[in-house]
Chains A and B, each alone.
Chain A
């Protein structure tokens, strides 16, 4: 081990060269990955044990304001909303690094709007499926476990989106108050940004496990 490595791992500075808050956010996200992993893997296990399983292209084919059947159309739209809100979040983090308060406010605002759009889309999808008869105890397309895991997993993801929207709103208010300018650091924007991208990352896997795979 050379001298600089020893210096880095002795006290006084972070060997990861990140702030305490950012390091703790990464550790939290690693643990949260396993929480979501456990949910998705238990879903896969139950699905592997079932004699039959509904075809997601048939279940998820409704679209608001039309009676036409568009397989996976609405959920693709929800995916694009979330990806787009991740892009605006990256731009907010970038503006924060440049200490550009106006940019942070603008892009965080857009991210919050994206999150709210996603949540309302999910509310519509839930309401539609419940009206079609899919609840946590019944499922017209096959085994009730399909509905149970659907509401459990998308609900857990949706609660993450909701808390992300709340965190983003708190950071937006702090940015508007000029708290970060007084502190001289927009680090908090980057920390909530990591959380927001994680929510997008989880959705990619929920999308795969629930809507795409149909073997």
Chain B
């Protein structure tokens, strides 16, 4: 199993992570004022998920494990969809109450 690690694919993942990080930083620093920041944030989240995929699949070798292990590790991550949405919506609503209702 671990014998399957090839130096070539490890170096490829390194360059992917390196280049994606440079692109992210360049986009964040040089994003034009006229364009909405929401588009930038969408791209940044997508790039981060790409980096996370390569770290987990290749560096942590999860892609090459048996399917039951992959399911066991990844299925709880579905909870993050609720977790993130619920708390950002709650925070936004609390900010609204503070600002407009004078709480």
Contacts and interface: CB of A to CB of B under 8 A. Distances in A.
Interface of A: 15-18, 23, 26, 29-30, 33-34, 37-38, 41-42, 44-51, 57, 71-72, 76, 79-80, 83-84, 86-87, 89-91, 93-94, 96-98, 190, 194, 197-198, 200-201, 204-205, 207-208, 211-215
Given A94-B2, A212-B44, A72 B87 contact: no
Interface of B is mostly: helix
Interface of B: 1-3, 5, 7, 10-11, 14, 17-18, 21-22, 24-25, 28-29, 37-38, 40-41, 44-45, 48, 51-52, 55-56, 58-61, 65-66, 68-69, 72-73, 76-77, 79-80, 83-84, 87-88, 90-92, 94-95, 98-99
Given A90-B10, A91-B10, A94-B5, A204 B48 contact: yes
B92 A49 contact: yes
Given A45-B90, A48-B95, A57-B29, A200 B59 contact: yes
Contacts of B90: 45
Nearest 10 pairs between A and B by C-beta?
Answer: A48-B91, A97-B2, A45-B91, A49-B95, A215-B37, A16-B69, A45-B87, A94-B5, A208-B48, A49-B91
B6 to A, nearest CB: 9
